[in-house]
């Protein structure tokens, strides 16, 4: 489906909405007028009015919508809102039913309501903002605002000098069919060891920068990939280096994403717990062995309760478990059985993802046996209702491109057990220092801007460019100190 912009260059705002509303269509950006299926988003500036016009042609059906606002009131945010409202109005006649998220595009819908609440709004006005301005359904209004309430509570734990640290281990035992991340199959242990050595150097350098910055580490998250692809000895070295380099005396939360049960054993869990982490993830994705095999996972559903029991015995007080709605070969009944099996273990957090078909994933090229959008909708709605009934509440939420049914990913928590790092990272409430290949650090500046500083993306690039990695971190700390713009 083509997309042509005229009179404006707010491509991201319109493109994300088109991807969301027409997930089955291939996006094609064009710069000249065209014939056939596609959309044209135009903006016209007059002396009094700023006018948006959207025309959409799909399967021989043509629609047109017009929206306008006073030209003198234009801001970037209001202009993009106008363009999205106009595109939505033109798209609606082409859709079987109004989409749950309405005209709201982008990966962080809760930032809108979190900002509203932090500025003095209340639950009722936040829901009204979503409904009246973006046409979001009542169910998604509630989901979004509930997550924002958790974000407001988490924001209250922060001071201006606080930050979080992310350490990435981009390796897994095997590559899942749905994965588009940079993670590589562990395979060659030599590369994994070389990566760890480079990471230890970065940890040491960041530790020195932290010590001289007077900033507090409030949450620390070791993610992946699958960090427990490392051996017990390698995990010991990694976490000992973290404890030596960083002052964690003010750290509220330390998480290791253990992830796949086929990488876990009692020794590794003991190492993680002994070195200060109180939270782990054990992620089944599904409790159906047939679906696991189709996804390229080599563990069995029966391995999940065993790994969970080992984590509890090791002393972890907070465990997260991930499920994915929309996996190949899965059905609403199968997903419901997976959710019930995971919930029966009573983890503190359950995260329900919706499958996103990314271009780097094997499933993108071979999307066989995928459930329909309607079936995925049944899975998601069941999870939302069932988890609420069991006492879980949403605490963070985000969306992605190419998601089945254009739904969302939601983290659910028992009372008082929300993962703070997930909130701080997703809501961008304070600076994040990201270490390792593909890490993107974010500096929250006093003027409200967010500056990103990226490490080399792939493990081999990361190994080859230690000077670039250190220079990036030095720049990041200068940005946070206001010494660089």
Q: How far apart are CA 165 and CA 193, in angstroms?
A: 22
pLDDT of residue 448: 84
pTM of the model: 0.93
188 dihedral zone (left: phi>0; alpha: psi -120 to 50; beta):
beta
pLDDT of amino acid 234: 97
pLDDT for 26 equals 84
Say which range, 143-157, 286-300, 351-365, 458-472, has the weakest mean pLDDT. Answer: 351-365
Supply the pLDDT for residue 347.
98
Q: What is the pLDDT of residue 360?
A: 60
- Looking at residue 185, its pLDDT comes to 60
User: What pLDDT score was predicted for residue 296?
Assistant: 85
Contacts of 151 (CB under 8 A, 6+ apart): 110, 114, 117, 395, 396, 423, 427, 429
Average pLDDT over residues 336-354: 98
Answer with the residue of higher pLDDT: 189 or 377.
377
Q: What is the pLDDT of residues 172-186, one digit of tens each?
A: 887 777 776 655 565
d(CA 117, CA 130): 13
| Rounded Cα distance, 274 and 411, in Å | 27
- pLDDT > 90: percent of the chain: 84
Higher pLDDT, 180 or 68: 68
Q: What is the mean pLDDT of residues 376-384?
A: 96
> pLDDT at residue 368 above 80?
no
Say if residues 361 and 177 touch (Cβ distance below 8 Å).
yes
pLDDT digits 0-9 by tens, 469-479: 999 999 999 99
pLDDT > 90? residue 83: yes
Please determine, for residue 187, whether its predicted confidence score (pLDDT) is greater than 60: no
């Amino acid at each position: 489906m083509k997309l042509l912009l005229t009179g404006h260059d707010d491509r991201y705002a319109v493109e994300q909405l088109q991807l969301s509303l027409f997930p089955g269509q291939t996006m094609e950006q064009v710069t000249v007028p065209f014939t056939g299926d596609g959309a044209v988003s135009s903006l016209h500036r007059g002396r009094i009015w700023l006018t948006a016009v959207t025309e959409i042609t799909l399967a021989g059906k043509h629609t047109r919508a017009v929206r306008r606002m006073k030209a003198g009131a234009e801001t970037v945010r209001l202009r993009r809102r106008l363009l999205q409202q106009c595109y939505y109005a033109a798209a609606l006649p082409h859709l079987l039913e109004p989409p749950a998220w309405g005209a709201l595009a982008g990966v962080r819908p809760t930032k809108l309501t979190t900002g509203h609440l932090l500025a003095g709004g209340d639950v009722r006005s936040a829901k009204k903002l979503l409904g009246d301005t973006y046409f979001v359904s009542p169910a998604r209004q509630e989901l979004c605002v509930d997550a924002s309430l958790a974000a407001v509570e988490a924001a209250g734990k922060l001071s201006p000098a606080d930050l979080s640290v992310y350490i990435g281990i981009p390796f897994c035992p095997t590559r899942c069919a749905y994965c588009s991340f940079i993670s590589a199959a562990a395979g060659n242990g030599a590369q994994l060891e070389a990566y760890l050595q480079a990471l230890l150097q970065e940890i040491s350098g960041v530790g020195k920068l932290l010590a001289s910055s007077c900033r507090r580490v409030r949450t620390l998250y070791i993610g992946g990939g699958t960090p427990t692809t490392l051996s017990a000895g390698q995990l010991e070295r990694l976490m000992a280096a973290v404890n030596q380099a960083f002052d964690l005396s003010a750290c509220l939360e330390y998480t290791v994403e253990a992830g796949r049960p086929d990488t876990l054993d009692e020794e590794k869990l003991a190492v993680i717990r002994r070195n200060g982490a109180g939270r782990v993830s054990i992620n089944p994705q599904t409790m159906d062995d047939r679906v696991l095999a189709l996804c390229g996972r080599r563990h069995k559903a029966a391995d999940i309760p065993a790994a969970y029991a080992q984590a509890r015995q090791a002393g972890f007080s907070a465990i997260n478990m991930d499920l994915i709605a929309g996996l190949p070969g899965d059905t609403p009944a199968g997903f419901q059985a997976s959710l019930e099996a995971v919930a029966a273990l009573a983890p503190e957090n359950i995260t329900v993802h919706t499958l996103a078909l990314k271009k780097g994933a094997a499933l993108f090229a071979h999307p066989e046996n995928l459930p329909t959008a309607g079936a995925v909708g049944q899975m998601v709605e069941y999870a939302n209702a069932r988890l609420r009934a069991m006492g879980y509440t949403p605490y963070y939420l985000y969306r992605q491109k190419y998601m089945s049914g254009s739904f969302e990913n939601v983290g659910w928590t028992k009372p008082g057990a929300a993962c703070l790092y997930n909130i701080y990272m997703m809501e961008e409430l304070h600076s994040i220092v990201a270490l390792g290949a593909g890490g993107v650090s974010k500096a929250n500046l006093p003027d409200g801007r967010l500056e990103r500083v990226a490490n080399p993306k792939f493990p081999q690039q990361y190994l080859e460019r230690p000077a670039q990695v250190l220079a990036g971190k030095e720049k990041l700390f200068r940005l946070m100190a206001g010494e660089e713009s």
